[in-house]
Amino acid sequence: MDKIGVGYASVTDIEKKYVMDALDSQRLSQGKYVAKFEKMFANMHGHKYGVMCNSGTSALHLAILALKEKYNWEDDAEILVPAITFIATSNSVLHAGLKPVFVDVDIKSYNMDPDEIEKHITEKTRCIIPVHCFGMPCEMDRISEIAKKHNLRIIEDCAEAHFAKINGKTVGSFSDIMACSTYVAHTLTTGVGGVMCTSDTELSGMLRSLVAHGRACTCERCIASDGNQVCPKRLKTDMDRRFTFVRLGYSYRVGELEGALGLGQLERVDEIMGARHKNADYLIKGLEPLEKYIQLPRHPENIEHTYMMFPILVKSESPKSKNEIVKYLESKNIETRPMLPLLNQPIYKEIFGDIEKDYPNAEYIDNNGFYIGCHHGLGKDELDREIEALTEILTGGGYSYLK
Ligand SMILES: Cc1ncc(COP(=O)(O)O)c(C=O)c1O
């Protein structure tokens, strides 16, 4: 029986054509494909500038460092992050030398609960990082209002929600900087990779500098050129600006192959998203009879969920525990993953102590949440297998019994 994975990457002729073209051009460092991808991805998320980098974690790290520099944050600045997210979100705050402060999540959306934010704001708070988990957008109107009231910056972590929308407005466009992962199994993938988007010209320059060792030259022109032209700005100064370093930077770049792969994927966004929406609708319909036992990813009509995964929360009324359900699904070759437990991770217990109990919704999700796949590589047969297995374990009857 074929395995039903939680993630999927599909590479078609269009991606292959662009990657081959990049290879044939012999330009493997950043060039026209990276430039095109950055522009298109940023514009599709409501921003002027995009900067590609080697991971979502790097994107978050540099977003924090750029804001720290621009707004002169102190070294003990506090950054609010949700108590449920992939560990990279809060790790990036630690990597930047700042302090992550956790905010409990809403039990229905699994995202940072706006009602919980203000009680964690102190005079040291400088920024909020909402994470649109599993493809579900956060309540950005309320989060933006709170940020404005307390003069806080916002970085949206959109790693799991490329192209998700709130009232037709794409996630990422509610913040100073949007940070994103394009690692395999994310909705749009470049193999490994990340993107930072902003509409602030100064921030975009800082990001472009930080990503490339802290260099002075940050104009987009060098990246888009074919490598044969020398930008006139470069040699105007005594030292070539491209080899002048003005801040402590990193080597977080990617090259043309990732740019080419990303551009091909971008051109297929409607196809990829359409299949995910169709699959999620099918799963929700098929699992509806089990809703007294499990919580399904439902959302208001003004939200466009992108279902990077299909999260399931086991309710207290369920006759089976999460572990029993997960074991059963795995025995049927249906892959499952825990729903981003964070505060109970051994390393976080070591750093922050036993704080999970202060976050009751996150704690419930840590103990009772898991997700399965609903990606664009799955067809009706696989979705039926997922529905059938959940129905069997929760009711003792097969899917046909419910139909
Ligand atoms: C919410 C979130 N943020 C950040 C990241 C980190 O991305 P990467 O693995 O590309 O560093 C991930 C990765 O899965 C993620 O899910």
Nearest atom (ligand 1) to Cα of 59: 11
| Predicted local distance difference test score (pLDDT) of residue 400 | 52
For a pocket test of ligand 1, which of 55, 132, 181 has the largest count of ligand atoms closer than 8 A to its C-beta?
181
Nearest residue to 207 via CA among 62, 83, 8? 62
A 10 A CB-CB count for 207 gives 27
Q: What is the CATH number of domain 13-266?
A: 3.40.640.10
Q: Is 182 in the pocket of ligand 1 (CB under 6 A)?
A: no
Task: For residue 402, name the pLDDT band (cuts at 50, 70, 90).
Answer: very low
Q: Is 82 in the pocket of ligand 1 (CB under 6 A)?
A: no
- Mean pLDDT score, 363-378: 97
Q: Is 37 in the pocket of ligand 1 (CB under 6 A)?
A: no
How close is the Cα of 55 to the center of ligand 1, in Å?
A: 7
Nearest atom (ligand 1) to Cα of 194: 10
Residues 99-134 pLDDT 10s: 999 999 999 999 999 999 999 999 999 999 999 999
A 10 A CB-CB count for 24 gives 8
Q: Is 6 in the pocket of ligand 1 (CB under 6 A)?
A: no
A 10 A CB-CB count for 302 gives 11
Taking the C-alpha atoms of residue 38 and residue 180, their distance in angstroms, rounded to an integer, is 12
Q: Whose CA is nearest to atom 16 of ligand 1?
A: 86
For a pocket test of ligand 1, which of 64, 86, 156, 180 has the largest count of ligand atoms closer than 8 A to its C-beta?
86
Q: Is 131 in the pocket of ligand 1 (CB under 6 A)?
A: yes
Residues 132-160 pLDDT 10s: 999 999 999 999 999 999 999 999 999 99
The strand order across the sheet containing 125-128 reads 49-53, 194-198, 177-181, 153-157, 125-128, 78-82, 99-103
How close is the Cα of 172 to the center of ligand 1, in Å?
A: 15
| Predicted local distance difference test score (pLDDT) of residue 401 | 44
The dihedrals phi and psi of 212, each to the nearest 5 degrees, come to -125, 60
What would the DSSP string read from start to end of 26-84? T--SS-HHHHHHHHHHHHHTT-SEEEEES-HHHHHHHHHHHHHHHTT--TT-EEEEESS
Homologous superfamily assigned to 269-402: Aspartate Aminotransferase, domain 1 (3.90.1150.10)
Q: Is 57 in the pocket of ligand 1 (CB under 6 A)?
A: yes
Query: What percent of the chain lies above the pLDDT cut of 70?
Result: 95
Q: Is 218 in the pocket of ligand 1 (CB under 6 A)?
A: no
A 10 A CB-CB count for 168 gives 7
Note the pTM of the prediction, 2 decimals.
Answer: 0.95
| Predicted local distance difference test score (pLDDT) of residue 237 | 75
Domain positions in the chain: 13-266, 269-402
Taking the C-alpha atoms of residue 288 and residue 281, their distance in angstroms, rounded to an integer, is 10
Helix, strand or coil for residue 333? coil
pLDDT of 173 above 60: yes
Task: For residue 403, name the pLDDT band (cuts at 50, 70, 90).
Answer: very low
